[in-house]
C-alpha cells in the first residue's frame, strides 16, 4: 500500500512516519512537507535511509504539485498532518492558517477525488470544541460536543473538519477525522510548552508561563496517538470522527514544576507573563468511542511519558539546539518580551 503522509517533517507527522515504517513493512510511505519553520529534514534523517520512504518538498496548497505526486505515486491512503498549528502564531498572522489548514485540505481532497483513494484521514484537534470550565471536572469533550472555537488556529481546523465532512456527504469521499488532545514526545518543536520548558531549564533561562498557569490540558504521548490513527485508517468507519485523549489532565504550572524537579532546576526560573488572548481554560477528551469500536486506549502514563521525553531531549541536544536560533529566536522574543 502507498500511504501519503503530509506534514511528515513535523512533530506528530514524523513520529507517524517512523511508526508506520516500523509496523507496516509492506507499505511505502510518501511524505509531503513544504518545510516551513517547524518542518525539519534532520527529523527524517533515519527515514531517508529507508528504501520504502520517499520525500517530496511540496506545499499542500500547490494544486499542480500535489496532482503531479498523485499521478506518479497512485496513493491508496492520505493522512493529513500538514497544518499551521501554533495558537500564538495564528493570532499574529491568521491568514497563513486559513490558507494551509483550509485551502490545503481542499487541494488534497480534490486530488483524492480525481485520482481515487481508499481513505482520506484528517488529523484534527480537540481545540475545535473550545474549552471546558475549570470547576467542572465531570465534563469532557465527546464527538457530539458542538464546535466552539477560540482562536484563528482552532477556527481553521474546525473549518477543515467541516469541509472534510462535506466532501464525504457531497462527493462520497471515504474520509475519517481524529481529534486529539495535546501531544508530547520526541521531535516536539521547541516553541511548545514541554520542549520549551525543557530547553530553557537546561540552559537556566526563564520559564515563561501564561497567566497563573492554571490552564489544564489532557496530555497524550505521541506514540499512543500514532497507534490510534493506524487503527482508524485501517479499521475505523468511513465518515466518522474519533476523539483521541490521553487521560492525563495536568495544569500547565504543574507541568513546569515537574520539569524543574526532573532536571534539578529551581522553580525560581518560572516567570509569569501576560496571558494569551482568548486562552482556553481546560481541555479534556472522552475517548470512549474509539475504545468501544477499535479497542484503543492510551498506554503511556504521563509519569512514564515525561521521563522518556526528557531523556530524548537530553540525548538529542544537537537537534533542538540547532532549531533554537534565527527566525525562531526572533519569534520567541516577540511573543514573550514585555508581557
Catalytic residues: 126-127, 153
Residues 6+ apart with CB under 8 A from 103: 61
Question: What are the two backbone dihedrals, phi and then psi, of residue 84, each rounded to the nearest 5 degrees?
Answer: -80, 130
Least Cα distance to 40 among 83, 11, 65 occurs for 11
The β-bridge partners of 120 are 78, 175
CA distances (Å), 295 to each of 12, 228, 231, in order? 21, 9, 9
Q: Which triple of cell numbers denotes residue 29?
A: 510511505
CA distances (Å), 112 to each of 73, 106, 302, in order? 12, 10, 37
Q: How far apart are CA 115 and CA 296, in angstroms?
A: 31
Contact 246, 302 (CB under 8 A): yes
Amino acid at each position: 500500500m502507498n500511504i501519503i503522509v503530509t506534514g511528515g517533517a513535523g512533530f506528530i507527522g514524523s513520529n507517524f512516519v517512523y511508526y508506520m515504517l516500523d509496523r507496516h513493512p509492506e507499505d511505502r510511505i510518501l511524505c509531503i512537507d513544504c518545510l516551513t519553520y517547524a518542518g525539519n529534514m534532520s527529523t527524517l534523517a533515519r527515514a531517508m535511509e529507508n528504501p520504502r520512504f520517499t520525500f517530496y518538498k511540496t506545499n499542500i496548497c500547490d494544486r499542480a504539485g500535489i496532482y503531479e505526486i498523485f499521478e506518479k505515486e497512485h496513493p491508496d491512503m492520505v493522512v493529513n498532518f500538514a497544518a499551521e498549528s501554533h495558537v500564538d502564531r495564528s493570532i499574529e498572522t491568521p491568514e497563513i492558517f486559513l490558507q494551509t489548514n483550509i485551502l490545503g485540505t481542499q487541494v488534497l481532497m480534490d486530488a483524492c477525488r480525481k485520482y481515487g483513494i481508499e481513505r482520506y484521514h484528517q488529523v484534527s484537534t480537540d481545540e475545535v470544541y473550545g474549552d471546558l470550565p475549570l470547576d467542572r471536572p465531570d465534563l469532557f469533550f465527546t464527538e457530539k460536543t458542538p464546535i466552539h472555537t477560540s482562536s484563528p488556529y482552532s477556527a481553521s481546523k474546525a473549518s477543515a473538519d467541516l469541509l472534510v465532512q462535506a466532501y464525504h456527504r457531497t462527493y462520497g469521499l471515504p474520509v475519517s477525522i481524529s481529534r486529539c488532545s495535546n501531544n508530547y514526545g520526541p521531535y516536539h518543536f521547541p516553541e511548545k510548552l514541554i520542549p520549551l520548558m525543557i530547553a530553557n531549564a537546561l540552559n537556566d533561562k526563564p520559564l515563561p508561563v501564561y497567566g497563573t498557569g492554571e490552564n489544564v490540558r489532557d496530555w497524550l504521548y505521541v506514540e499512543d496517538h500514532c497507534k490510534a490513527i493506524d487503527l482508524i485508517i485501517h479499521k475505523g468507519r468511513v465518515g466518522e470522527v474519533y476523539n483521541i485523549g490521553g487521560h492525563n489532565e495536568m495544569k500547565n504550572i504543574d507541568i513546569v514544576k515537574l520539569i524543574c524537579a526532573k532536571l534539578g532546576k529551581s522553580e525560581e526560573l518560572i516567570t509569569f507573563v501576560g496571558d494569551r488572548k482568548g486562552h482556553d481554560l481546560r481541555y479534556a477528551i472522552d475517548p470512549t468511542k474509539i475504545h468501544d469500536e477499535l479497542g484503543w486506549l492510551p498506554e503511556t502514563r504521563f509519569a512514564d511519558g515525561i521521563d522518556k521525553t526528557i531523556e530524548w531531549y537530553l540525548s538529542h541536544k544537537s537537534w533542538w539546539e540547532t532549531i533554537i536560533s534565527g527566525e525562531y529566536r526572533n519569534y520567541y522574543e516577540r511573543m514573550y518580551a514585555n508581557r
